[in-house]
Amino acid sequence: MNQTSFIITFTATPSSEPAFRSLLEGVARDLPTVPGCRGVDIYSGADDACLFTLVEQWDSREAHGAHVKNMVDSGAWDSVAAHLACPPVSRYLVRLPPAGGNL
């Protein structure tokens, strides 16, 4: 498998920040139970309470894509998007080999 990381940064509206923070508590609990998800770390902005970044570990991009499709199809994504000031910024990343390995 091609293990991958998915990093996504959200900016909540100031009025939605407390509710979005609460929503992310559920994400921290539930996302690791999704098939193919190996875990998630959630960060908040040190100087911006509305900024949140998730660093997700997945078995593959396909596993993550299936999760995203499920969120969109179920309407769960709409409840996330309702809290946002702007569209999230995201990217897939792959881990570099350990020191001494070929880049």
Q: Per-block average pLDDT, block size 10, for the chain (103 residues)?
A: 89 97 95 96 97 97 96 95 97 84 62
- Predicted pLDDT at 98: 80
- Predicted pLDDT at 1: 52
Quick check: 7 and 96 in contact, CB under 8 A?
Answer: no
- Predicted pLDDT at 103: 59
Q: Is it true that domain 4-93 has CATH number 3.30.70.100? A: yes
Please give the Cα distance from 58 to 2 (Å, whole number): 9
pTM attached to this predicted model:
0.89
- Predicted pLDDT at 94: 83
Please give the Cα distance from 61 to 44 (Å, whole number): 24
Residue spans of beta strands (DSSP E) within 22-66? 37-44, 51-58
Please give the Cα distance from 103 to 18 (Å, whole number): 42
Question: Which amino acid appears at position 12 of this protein?
Answer: A
Write down the domain spans for the chain.
4-93
